Structure 1
Amino acid sequence: MNFLEVIGGPAIALIAIAGTIGWVVTTWLRVKHGYPLEGSWGQKLKPDRSSEALERIKLLTGENARISAELAAVKERLQVVERIVTDRGFSLSYEIDSLRH
């Protein structure tokens, strides 16, 4: 049995453990100092806290509130139209008008 056969298995395991520990420490340091994290395909894992991103969030939040209010107004108008159309008096007047023509 030669030297490489004896040390080969433990050496590979030691290299794998050292690589894993290095990756954990590097990730911890990036998080600690506020650097954005990236996945294996380059996608952002930690949201960006820059002033540009915060400003965009503010604008989108305002737009969302405006659209929600507009949607609520449209729903109210639709309820009124549904009440008018399903009202018995409306359908009766429509039937009378259709008989005239």
Structure 2
Amino acid sequence: MDWLGYLIPLAPFALGGLWIWTRHQSKMIDKEKELLLLGKKGPQNKDGQQMNEDMKYLKERVATLEKIVTDERGARELESEIAKLRDS
């Protein structure tokens, strides 16, 4: 029973830590809800809209570059250019 005498003074610290942890968890849940709502609504400011437009543009550019790289004719031309450079 001597160990109980050591635990009683630590109880306020344990309860304080529990209170801080539960408050933090509550705030995290609120932030997650807020982010989910923003995701459904889309960007509300000009920066977010501009970022979405830039992202669409970049995705189109990447798709075009992928077509060029994977094009059979382009690969043959690239190989012939590399061969010419080696011969020079």
Task: Give the TM-score, by structure 2 length.
Answer: 0.45
**Structure number with bigger Rg:** 1
The one of the two structures with greater contact order (alpha-carbon pairs below 8 A, sep at least 6) is: 1
